[in-house]
Amino acid sequence: MMNFPQLKIAHMKPRVPIIQGGMGVGISLSGLASAVANAGGIGIISGTGIPIEEMKGHIRKARELTNGIGYIGVNVLYAMTDFAETMKAAMEEKVDFIISGAGISRDMYQWGKEYEVPVISIVSSAKVAKLSQRLGASAVVVEGFEAGGHLGTDRPLFDILPEVVDAVDIPVIAAGGIINGKDVRKAIEMGASGVQMGSRFVASVECDAPQSFKDKYLSAKKGETTLIKSVVGLEGRAIRNAFTERISDDKKVKIDKCYSCLKKCSHRFCILDSLLTSRGGNAEDGLVFSGSRVHEINDILPVKKIIDGIMDEFRSSVSV
C-alpha cells in the first residue's frame, strides 16, 4: 500500500497531489476549479480568451464556493496580447498561484514577487525547467506530447519527466495523458511531486463546458485525436471533427472579425472564434481540445468521485 505523497508548492498543501489543468476558452472556470479544490486537489480557472472582469468574477465565485479554504489558481496563455493585464488582475485578486504556458516571460516572476503570488511554469524540457527555476518559479508542470491543447514537444511525458526531475530542486508536476491512479503512481515513482489532469475533469458534472463538448469526449474512439497547426506557431491536440478537417493541410478559414488577441498569429483561422464556437455548444464546427487518451474516458462523474476513484486506484495499483 503506497500512500499519496504530500504535495507542497509555496503555501499550498492540498490533500491530494492533483492539479486540474487550466482549459480555455471557458472550459475550466469557477465551477470546475472550486469542485476540484473542494475535493482536496488544486483548481485552475483559465483566464484565456475571457474578459478580465469576467475572470475576476470567477475568482471571487470560486472563493465563495470553497469558503475561501481551497486552493485556486489562474492559467494565462503567454501568447495572448492581454497576458500582462490578465496576470496582474489575477494577482490583485490574490489567487493562490499563477500558471503559464505557451512561452515564458521573465516579467511574470517579477510580478509574482511584487504581489507575493507563486508562479508556476508549464515546460516540456529540462532546459526550460532549469530556466524557470532560476527566474523564480515555485514549481514546474512538465507536459508531454500526450496532452491536449497546445503542445511544446513531440516527446512522451515519461521520457521527459526523469530529465526534468534531475534538473531542478522545485516540485515537478507531471502532465499529459494522465487519466487514472495507475498513471499517477507511475509519475510519482519516477520522481514527480504530483500530477496535472485536464481531460479527465472535462468529463465531470461540474465542468463549465457545455454538454455537447462533454459528449464529444465520451464518443471519441481510439486514434480520434489529431494534431492541428495552431495559429500561435505550436501544434495543438484536438478531437477530429468538421472543423479540424477544414483546417487540415494548412487550409485557411475566413476570419470575420479579428480581435488581435495573440501577440503572433498566422491568421490562417481564428483560434479564439473556434474555441468560443465549441464553448457555445457547437462541438463540430469549433475546436475541441483533448488529451490523446480521451477514448479511455467513458463516463461523466462528479469531481469528488473522480478524485476518490483515482486515489483508490493509486493505492491498489502495483509498482510499475
Do 107 and 79 reside in the same domain of the chain? yes
Does some domain include residue 4? no
Task: Over range 290-297, report the average pLDDT.
Answer: 98
Do 140 and 268 reside in the same domain of the chain? no
Q: Is residue 1's pLDDT more than 60?
A: no
CATH number of the domain encompassing residue 99? 3.20.20.70
Confidence of residue 105 (pLDDT cuts 50, 70, 90): confident
Neighbouring C-alpha atoms within 13 Å toward the C-beta of 120: 30
Confidence of residue 320 (pLDDT cuts 50, 70, 90): low
Q: What pLDDT is stored for residue 210 in this prediction? A: 97
Does some domain include residue 128? yes
Using DSSP, state whether 99 is helix, strand or coil. Answer: strand
Does some domain include residue 1? no
Q: What pLDDT is stored for residue 106 in this prediction? A: 86
Helix 181-189 to helix 157-167 angle (10° resolution) is 40
48 closest CA partner among 279, 320, 301, 237: 279
Q: What pLDDT is stored for residue 244 in this prediction? A: 96
Confidence of residue 319 (pLDDT cuts 50, 70, 90): low
Instruction: Say if CB 4 and CB 29 are below 8 A apart.
Output: no
Do 203 and 259 reside in the same domain of the chain? no
Distance, CA of 46 to CA of 73 (rounded, Å):
9
Q: What pLDDT is stored for residue 5 in this prediction? A: 82
Task: Over range 244-253, report the average pLDDT.
Answer: 94
Q: What pLDDT is stored for residue 144 in this prediction? A: 97
Do 195 and 234 reside in the same domain of the chain? no
Do 288 and 162 reside in the same domain of the chain? no
Does some domain include residue 246? yes
Task: Over range 172-181, report the average pLDDT.
Answer: 97
Distance, CA of 285 to CA of 22 (rounded, Å):
22
Does some domain include residue 50? yes
Task: Over range 267-290, report the average pLDDT.
Answer: 96
Torsion of CA 196, 199, 203, 205, to 10 degrees: 40
Q: Is residue 253's pLDDT more than 70?
A: yes
Do 302 and 241 reside in the same domain of the chain? no
Distances (CA, A) of 272 to 50, 250, 307: 10, 18, 31
Tell me the per-residue pLDDT of 9-42, one tens digit each, with 9 for 90 and over: 999 999 999 999 999 999 999 999 999 999 999 9
Strand-by-strand arrangement of the 235-239 sheet: 149-151, 235-239, 225-229
Does some domain include residue 9? no
Do 131 and 45 reside in the same domain of the chain? yes
Question: Which is it for strands 139-143 and 225-229: parallel, antiparallel or unpaired?
Answer: unpaired
Confidence of residue 259 (pLDDT cuts 50, 70, 90): confident
Do 92 and 219 reside in the same domain of the chain? no
Does some domain include residue 2? no
Q: Please tell me which residue, 4 or 275, carries the higher pLDDT value.
A: 275
Distance, CA of 82 to CA of 145 (rounded, Å):
27
Do 101 and 226 reside in the same domain of the chain? no
Do 171 and 101 reside in the same domain of the chain? yes
Domain that holds residue 196: 18-208+297-316
Contacts (Cβ under 8 Å, ≥6 apart) of 212: 278, 281, 282, 283
Q: What pLDDT is stored for residue 232 in this prediction? A: 87
Does some domain include residue 5? no
Task: Over range 208-225, report the average pLDDT.
Answer: 97
Do 215 and 309 reside in the same domain of the chain? no
3-state secondary structure 66-89: CCCCCEEEEEEECCECCHHHHHHH
Do 233 and 200 reside in the same domain of the chain? no
Q: Is residue 103's pLDDT more than 80?
A: no
Q: ∠14-15-17 over CA atoms, to 5°?
A: 65
What percent of the chain has a predicted confidence (pLDDT) above 90? 89
Q: What pLDDT is stored for residue 2 in this prediction? A: 63
Q: What pLDDT is stored for residue 231 in this prediction? A: 92
Confidence of residue 213 (pLDDT cuts 50, 70, 90): very high
Question: In the chain, how many domains are there?
Answer: 2
Task: Over range 278-303, report the average pLDDT.
Answer: 97
Whole-model pTM? 0.96
Tell me the per-residue pLDDT of 132-173, one tens digit each, with 9 for 90 and over: 999 999 999 999 999 999 998 999 999 999 999 999 999 999
Task: Over range 214-235, report the average pLDDT.
Answer: 94
65 closest CA partner among 91, 90, 31, 39: 31
Q: What pLDDT is stored for residue 101 in this prediction? A: 80
C-alpha cell at 121: 511554469
Instruction: Say if CB 36 and CB 42 are below 8 A apart.
Output: yes
